[in-house]
A and B are shown apart, each in its own frame.
Chain A
Amino acid sequence: MNPAGRKVMVVPCSGIGKTYGTVSREAAYEVTEDRRPGTTDLVALSLLVLGDEDARARVRAHPAVTIDGCKLACAAKMVRESGGHVAQDIAVLDVYRRNRELKPQGIAELNEGGQQLAHAVAAEIAAIVDDLISREEAPDHA
């Protein structure tokens, strides 16, 4: 149910060539394409970095869930620098710490542990999205 037509933007880190970056992106695809296609949209971090006006407008207009593969937290920083509101930043490493059996390996292609970790990250984001959508008040852009 999304009676108000509210959306949540999902912004994964780039992390090209890095295992945790791949987990981040796979989780983002899973949320926006499979788990919550009606209530989420994917925003590419690279567009924010390039200053793309449409991407910046979308993170300003909707709450964002960012997914970061390392402590640099580029996705969260870039959303904030674009004037957006980070409703929640998910650190892949934190999810892995809670699921140590899901050790990710691989870059272009994740191993089974990495794929399962992406599923776990996606499940956490889906729950956050549901919570955000269920709130009736407008997003806090403070």
Chain B
Amino acid sequence: MPDFLETTVDKFIFKVATDRLYTPEGVWALEDGDRIRVGVTDLVQQRSGDVAFAEVKAAGTVVATGDEVASIETIKTNVAVPSPIGGAIAEANPAMELTPEVINQDPYGEGWLAFIDPSDWATDRGALLDPQAYFVVMKAEAEEEAKKL
């Protein structure tokens, strides 16, 4: 169970797990042995709404940083999830087929999307944000969205 940075904006609470790295778009990357586990952040799942379907690219698919690694359809929108790193998809979360709502319920845990075999993790990780840096980005985005409500 990771620790979280947490902020409240309007009536919403947003969390950032402190044990992983992030893209500014709200995709996380977590070292897990030789592989990198990826998923979307709490802000992304809350902003996107209830998940109806999630489809992860098939195992073996080679992705570059920024390529779509998964697509998520929610009651509000369709979200293309850009890969935070380059590599080959090793495994898709099987929960995405039958219970994709775990993305809403547990975005940093059971709601992970895929494992990626990284092609150059040492380089890619340097381009990602640490939790504190992403927290600042996330908070600014959440506050900006709250103004629209």
Contacts and interface: CB of A to CB of B under 8 A. Distances in A.
B86 to A, nearest CB: 31
Interface stretch (B31-39, B48-56, B133-141): B48-56
Interface residues of A, number: 10
10 contacts: A18-B75, A19-B75, A20-B75, A69-B75, A70-B50, A70-B75, A71-B50, A71-B104, A93-B52, A97-B53
A141 interface: no
Contacts of A93: 50, 52, 75
Nearest to B75: A20
A97 B51 CA distance: 10
A124 to B, nearest CB: 17
B52 A97 contact: yes
Interface of B: 49-50, 52-53, 75, 101, 104
B49 A70 contact: yes
Contacts of A97: 52-53
Give the secondary structure class of B's interface. Answer: loop
A100 interface: yes
Interface string A45-84: 0000000000000000000000001110000000000000
B111 to A, nearest CB: 14
Nearest to A20: B75
A110 to B, nearest CB: 14
Given A69-B75, A71-B50, A97-B52, 4 more contacts: A18-B75, A93-B52, A93-B75, A97-B53
Nearest to B49: A70
A92 B52 CA distance: 10
A-B pairs, top 4 by smallest CB distance, nearest first, are A20-B75, A71-B50, A70-B50, A93-B50
A96 B51 CA distance: 11
Contacts of B101: 71
Nearest to B105: A71
